Amino acid sequence: MKAVAIKGIREFEIKEVEEPIPNAQDVVIKVAKTGICGSDIHYWENGEPKGLIMGHEFSGTVINPGPRQDLKEGDRVTALPISPCLECTSCQTGNVQYCKDTWTHAVGLSMDYPGGLAPMLKVRGDMVYKIPDTMTFEEGAMVEPTAVGLHAIHLADIKVGAKVLVIGGGIIGLVSAMFAKKEGASLVALTETNPERGKKSVSLQAADEWYDAKLESTVPTLLEKTEGGFDVVIECVGNAPAVNSALTLVKPGGTVVLVGVSTKDISTYTVMAVMKELKVFGAIGYIKEEFKTCIDLIASKQVEATKFIDDIVSLDQVQASYERLTSGTDSAVKILVDPNR
Ligand SMILES: NC(=O)c1ccc[n+]([C@@H]2O[C@H](COP(=O)([O-])OP(=O)(O)OC[C@H]3O[C@@H](n4cnc5c(N)ncnc54)[C@H](O)[C@@H]3O)[C@@H](O)[C@H]2O)c1
Ligand SMILES: [Zn+2]
Ligand SMILES: [Zn+2]
């Protein structure tokens, strides 16, 4: 079958690969839709690991149910892409997201479990969830990034009336902003360096207001508007300016949730966290219950996940789609790939 793999820095190749072989542990899925994630973009920009077939946000139909006797060929599913050991203390307390094995064999993020940038994939049976008949495959592929936002919001512990700042208007920032409003925030502001994405965060009703992160006036304006800072800041970028603005724009005693992933070191003035006695959380992935909750929220249309989708493309258009998502000027936030198109 044809798959899209990393070839070099900002470069993909389309190559012929083996179809997944049914086995006792995995469910084999025909991929319907696969989302392109900001984390995938980091791998593509670094050009490593070569040969990696990405795509960890996917939906599809069962080809071979493997260990899952309750599933049959043709069932519509999505899945957590992760590979927790289920035996360590983290797993046993339900915190699969920080098990040391969680990402080592993750679908679309490891070499042994190629992802959804191919017509078929295999995924661990215990990670697969059926999706309701009323749920589209587009919605199914949006469950994973939605769950990332929900997990960040749970850590943020937003009180009704709180003022919340989201830094970064990619899909993770948008769903985090949306959930912050659902939690009862009185103000959800969002900062962006890409004005098209900033405007979109407001027009899609994820954020109440957006501010240009490149303007020097933005920090003083926001400090004045909030009378000294936001109760909660959710950082959804993963670079030094974003992390530093999070520490600057949170109020004393406030909470910062770091969701953005950086592959480079970030220097910052930790004295800001010390002097303000901040609560700083990292947020990684989600737990199984949050993933399931997102299936329910999207299926019941309480979360309109499809409004965030800008385009659906074929495998041949993946390279161009990554370039579009990193242009810094395009309004597109989420592009799905249909590998059987
Ligand atoms: N912790 C997790 O579990 C988890 C899961 C998924 C993604 N991520 C990470 O979260 C981040 C966001 O993911 P995404 O899919 O939304 O990515 P994305 O690349 O689509 O969005 C990032 C946005 O940040 C904006 N930006 C850049 N610098 C900025 C700045 N200084 N201030 C404000 N905005 C700025 C960009 O214009 C872009 O729109 C990425 O680093 C990704 O790797 C983390
Ligand atoms: Zn992702
Ligand atoms: Zn474990």
- The ligand 1 atom nearest the CA atom of 282: 1
Mean pLDDT of the chain: 97
Q: Ligand 2 centroid vs 227 CA: distance in angstroms?
A: 35
Q: Which of 114-123, 258-267, 303-312 has the lowest mean pLDDT?
A: 258-267
- The ligand 1 atom nearest the CA atom of 259: 1
* pLDDT (0 to 100) of residue 77: 98
* pLDDT (0 to 100) of residue 263: 80
Which residue has the CA at smallest separation from atom 11 of ligand 1?
Answer: 260
User: What residues have CB less than 8 Å from 26, skipping those under 6 apart?
Assistant: 20, 66, 67, 122, 123, 124, 125
pLDDT value at 97 more than 90: yes
Q: Ligand 1 centroid vs 300 CA: distance in angstroms?
A: 27
Question: Could you give all domains of the chain from N- to C-terminal order, each with its CATH number?
Answer: 2-130+304-337 (3.90.180.10), 147-282 (3.40.50.720)
Query: How far, in Å, CA of 175 to CA of 150, rounded?
Result: 8
- Does 239 contact ligand 1 (Cβ within 6 A)? yes
Average pLDDT over residues 26-31: 98
Query: How far, in Å, CA of 233 to CA of 31, rounded?
Result: 36
Q: Whose CA is closest to 191, among 224, 215, 157, 161?
A: 215
- Confidence class for position 267, pLDDT limits 50, 70, 90: very high
Q: Ligand 3 centroid vs 242 CA: distance in angstroms?
A: 31
- Does 108 contact ligand 1 (Cβ within 6 A)? no
- The ligand 1 atom nearest the CA atom of 171: 16
Q: 189-214: buried (b, 16+ CB within 10 Å) or exposed (e) per residue? A: bbbbbbbebbebbbebebbbebbebe
Average pLDDT over residues 130-138: 97
Average pLDDT over residues 81-107: 96
* pLDDT (0 to 100) of residue 286: 98
Position 191, amino acid: T
- In percent, the amount of the chain with pLDDT more than 90 equals 98
Position 233, amino acid: V
- Confidence class for position 316, pLDDT limits 50, 70, 90: very high
What beta strand segments (E) does the chain contain?
2-8, 11-16, 26-35, 57-64, 76-79, 120-124, 128-130, 163-167, 187-192, 209-212, 230-235, 250-258, 279-282, 309-313, 334-337
Joined tokens for residue 30:
């025909």
Q: State pTM to two decimals.
A: 0.97
Query: How far, in Å, CA of 63 to CA of 21, rounded?
Result: 11
Sign of CA dihedral 154, 156, 157, 162: negative
- Does 119 contact ligand 1 (Cβ within 6 A)? no
* pLDDT (0 to 100) of residue 172: 97
- Does 170 contact ligand 1 (Cβ within 6 A)? yes
For residue 142, give the ligand nearest its CA. Answer: 2
